[in-house]
Amino acid sequence: MHFLVAFLLSTISLSASVHAADFPSVELDGIQDLRLQRQEWSGFNGVISVGGGFLTGSDSLGGDSFFRSGIVAGSVGYDHQINSVVFGAALEGAYTNFRGNSASGSSRQSANWLASATVRAGIDTGRFMPYISAGLGFGNYKVERKSDGASDDNTHIGFVVGAGVEARVTDTIFARLDYKHYEFNDQTYRISGWAPFDVEGQADTFTLGLGYRF
């Protein structure tokens, strides 16, 4: 009985060794491509993005507003890499369609574009580069009285901060996921028949873009 058990165990062990030898060796070269290797992020770049956002505002008359909009944006920039740190600057413009009625219903309000001039700092982690950004933000805002179409519009200026990540697709093509928060200053609006009033606002945008590095 002990001899039979020993024979069966040795047979199973030998069979397993033979089958293991029959399997082809697994090539691990592909895994090497997944390792974090330093990339080159320096150079000029251009990005086309789409996304969405929301805008909130308030005025000195006690009215508040909250609008949503889709966004189409474009940016040009330049990055310079020092070791694993990437410094950059960019100009961005975005077409928006924020619009709606005031809380009282007496006026229409809209914002048709946003723009920013920012600097940023990122970290090269291989094929990904997370970054933070800050700079100046600009936004158009218009208030129109519904009864007769009388209106006033202004360009609000403020600061903008943001964060995002870029992912290299090829040596020259990359994808960018970006978030920005705009904090705008007060502007005074004057519409005939109404007392002057101040408007302030904030905007948050989320975009996904495809870029090319020259």
What is the reported pLDDT for 5? 40
Residues 179-186: contacts with CB within 8 Å, 24+ apart?
179/204, 179/205, 179/206, 180/116, 180/133, 180/137, 180/204, 180/205, 182/114, 182/116, 182/137, 182/139, 182/158, 183/137, 183/158, 183/159, 184/137, 184/139, 184/156, 184/157, 184/158, 185/156, 185/157, 185/158
Classify domain 40-213 by CATH architecture.
Beta Barrel (2.40)
pLDDT tier at 36 (50, 70, 90 boundaries)? low
Higher-pLDDT residue of 2 and 148 is: 148
pLDDT in tens, 142-194: 999 999 999 999 999 999 999 999 999 999 999 999 999 999 999 999 999 99
Q: Does residue 94 register a pLDDT over 60?
A: yes
Of 29-33, 51-55, 71-75, the poorest mean pLDDT is in 29-33
What is the reported pLDDT for 4? 38
This prediction has a pTM of 0.80
pLDDT in tens, 47-57: 999 999 999 98
pLDDT in tens, 113-150: 999 999 999 999 999 999 999 999 999 999 999 999 99
